[in-house]
Structure 1
Amino acid sequence: MELKEKIIKQASEAKGASKKLAHLGSEVKNQALLAMADALEERVEEILQANEQDMEYGRENGLSESLLDRLLLTEARVSKMAQGLREVAQFSDPIGEVLEMKKRPNGLKIGKVQVPLGVIGIIYEARPNVTVDAAGLCLKAGNTVVLRGSSSAINSNKAIVNVISRAAYDAGLPEGSIQLLESTERKAVQVMFELNDYLDVLIPRGGAGLIQAVVNNSTVPVIETGVGNCHTFIDSQADLDKAEQIVINAKTQRTGVCNAMETLLVHEDVAEEFLPAIIEELRERDTLVKGDKKVREIVSDVKEATTEDWATEFLDYILAIKIVSSLDQALEHIDEYSTSHSEAIVTENYTKAHKFLDLVDSAAVYVNASTRFTDGGQFGLGAEIGISTQKLHARGPMGVNQLTTTKFIIFGDGQIRQ
């Protein structure tokens, strides 16, 4: 069977399963999620063995340390994936919830109810935990899912889907609800772009290149998840001890993720006091620091930052630093270079904090906290399918409710339109 035919067959099976899954009760879906979680922990060794194959391949092919960290599975990480499924199982089922109901003057009762999107295609890179998060969230919201991970994680993804799909079907979900495209050919992605008859939406999750390829080439509707060129601004009225902790966490706690800080903006009034110590601490954590002219006047051996650096999502131990003269200049810089993902201000000034919240147009805007919190689990959504940086349908971490749509329901008593 040719690749295109095979993918269409899998997508068709997912579409058929979606008709059944959409009408399953909450109890069946929740039991399936719990069974999937148990299966992950019971068969963890099988998953870790497959992951080690991917890790070995990644090391041999020169994957960076940050990408290897994204790829790595451990017993603790698998347990965390399982816990995410259990948390999703505890959430209220959005399907069938009546969001509003109004009575018109002619007696018609017109309401709006939440329904599944249908079949969701996910194209993602490196992180095998996305396989579990995506499947769990889609199933809870009554959707079937067609997964296409990267070649770097193919063995991990195959093992995970083998484990969770069998558990889900044995618990009562329709066969075909979870589909993994096992082909590592680029053509497989191109085929997904054109599956309008089978996929209701495509969600890319990965770097800028992947996201733009999907947005620019897909005829299937796309929910755009974001590249994370995230900023933190240290105001002249910041608590510098607080600022130090936030900066170190936002940059170094985990570098290869979209909510890590990539650019640090520092008010000139506190730059001479703040920068030498924070740069030294960043370097102790193996971070390459780049700075503008004013930064290098304070710490002379900092590498020069270029215009390209302000626009770059490094996903690595690299940080660009710029000194600004005011909150307005910080806002101008963020407006020019932000990818509308996550931005933070560190300040003790109430007025400035609220101005930052009001004027920064991103999915998540913080006062006195690390951008690393932009995450479905941290936001109380259990898990997430991605961070949407667009404005249509969903924005920010996408949990169960963001994987639904609505339909109107109308109750009449013989009314006809005049």
Structure 2
Amino acid sequence: MALGASRVFVSHLSGVAVFDPVGDQVGRVRDVVAMLRVGNLPPRVLGLVVEVVSRRRVFLPMTRVTGVESGQVITTGVVNMRRFEQRPAETLVLGELLDRQVTLVETGERVTVLDVGLTRLPARRDWLIDKVFVRRGKGGPLRRRGETLTVEWSAVTGFSLDEEEQGAANLLAVFDQLRPADLANVLHHLSAKRRGEVAAALDDDRLADVLEELPDDDQVEILRKLQDERAADVLEAMDPDDAADLLSELPEKDMERLLRLMEPQDAAPVRRLLTYEEHTAGGIMTTEPIVLRPDATVADALARMRVEDLSPPLAAQVYVCRPPEETPTGKYLGMAHFQRLLREPPGTLVGAVVDTDLRPLSPDTPLATLTSYLAAYNIVAVPVVDESGSLLGAVTVDDVLDHLLPDDWREAAALEAIGAGGLLEARRDAREVPGGR
């Protein structure tokens, strides 16, 4: 069934082939990884356990699944080939939930789980387990098995975490709906012990998002508590510029060890960023702007801008370059803002609408010059090119603000956003979770 379809049952995923975007088979699905939550909240689906050709089982995040249709799973691209290791807060759906005895809330009757249904949230890449297919006890003398029925997740009990359960899972459930910046602020005010427990229980993508919002000291403390393999996974999930900033805070030998553990294609842009001075365009740029060839169309550009994972400043414009399109690119030709693209017919080539008046900056441009440039031209991002004219990346206004504001600006912003009383209440709740300090 298509990715946008309402539901897929986990039993239909077992053994399904996994393909990359060009049609090459990566492996087969062997299980689904989920995280149970407090009370009747449907569990989040974190990813798939995929058995690759070498019979190694690896983890495929659901954020990299672009299609589940016609008995196959389609991924966005490169699959991390590190061996899958189940973490304390994770549950294997096929291995641990099926055949489990649970209780119907309405009648108190014990039933057996035969299958569970996964659903994708509208306009998001998040997946939840929302349905449970169960079998009642054996029927009458003429029936060997009892009645089967499909119920909502909230209609059964026996899966979810108890309200009184200690550990990071309960705390995570309490703050599950927080934005990464808000969750980072909560983590900042926990004890070092609890901060480490929560970080260990978060999945890689969520932890990466939260780390990007934490002060440097907290980032380093959390990263050092992770096993090296896990730390490398989290660094891969971070934006390259944020990963470079974090690694630059570590001793040289620790930084190099983690870089060697990262996938080469993820480590390469981070290594490049680490060669630049911190408060320069090269030191704070992102290496993943939207890059298009001049023969791409306006429709192609707008489709790239609609990708939900892009931040608004990165999605505001595209950079037109000669091949290759990965940074460092071929010759930089100019950029096109989304307002200009919206005024053009979809079939127009972006090479015909590029703005060549705004000069790009060199990677050694100091922060003060960057700030003046953005303010003078009323733009939210600026291209960075090397001496040969290749695009190296782009500096966005939010990256500039990160380096201009005081070190404690995140905490002050959180107090303004949710109110001092609300933050104090969140701190109090965090301390009162059993096992917290």
Tell me the TM-score normalised to structure 1 length. Answer: 0.27
The structure with more helix, counted as a fraction of residues = 1
Tell me the TM-score normalised to structure 2 length. Answer: 0.26
Greater relative contact order (Cα < 8 A, sep 6+)? 1
